[in-house]
Amino acid sequence: MIALNLNHLNKVLRRKTPQEIIAWAIMLSNKKIITTSFGNYSSVLLHAISKKDQDIDVVWCDTGYNTQETYAHAQNLIHKLKLNIHIYKPLQSKAVTDTVLSFPKLEGYEYDKFKDIVKLDPFRRALETHNPEVWFTNIRSGQTKHRNTLDILSYSKDGILKVSPFYYCSDQDLDNYLKKYNLPKNEAYFDVTKVLKHKECGIHFQ
């Protein structure tokens, strides 16, 4: 675990640009990952960090339920940015999951089980494999109630330092970034483990 005074550092980092935050955080450890869902603004974080570290491990927990546009977007970015991609998938097939859990009519226990099978278990396996000390994420303030309690820097429950360089950026800020660097936006993204944008899939409770 990288022990830092997060209250002090977050106050300092709020005055820095996302690029400056990345440049600082990327030097903290050789054991680091980026997680991505290849969502709406995935290009932003992946581009910004790959410019600083082309070899950083990029972790994608592919639920198997993404839109065709998201899979096309992912392949485009993987090749365009030459990402060092590591894909983690559910251990059981989509067909089995649909049958056993009566997808898409899920609620309560079934929905929690569904999220664990398609997203959380693959993510736990990713963490076991990479054992990161630093975890770059693209979460931002205002996205969910839980994320509003976090900051640029926070710790996972296992003590991994989570770094969210664009935490205080607006949609317009990210749109401007996409335009500046001629990057694609995934307008058709849909996360089956969240459904509603203000919900959590559970990864950021880990």
**How many residues appear in the chain?**
206
Residue 58 in any domain: the answer is: yes
pLDDT at residue number 101:
80
- Strand, helix or coil for residue 60: strand
Residue 75 in any domain: the answer is: yes
Does residue 141 surpass a pLDDT of 90? no
Model confidence, pTM: 0.89
Number of domains in the chain: 1
What is the residue range of 138's domain?
6-205
Rg (CA), the chain: 17
Residue 86 in any domain: the answer is: yes
Residue 1 in any domain: the answer is: no
Query: pLDDT for 146-157, tens place per residue?
Result: 778 889 999 998
Helix, strand, coil share (%) of the chain residues, nearest 5: 40, 10, 50
- Strand, helix or coil for residue 201: coil
Does residue 104 surpass a pLDDT of 80? no
Query: pLDDT for 27-36, tens place per residue?
Result: 999 999 999 9
CATH of residue 130:
3.40.50.620
Tell me which of 126 and 157 has the higher pLDDT. 126
- Give the Cα separation of 118 and 115 in Å (integer): 5
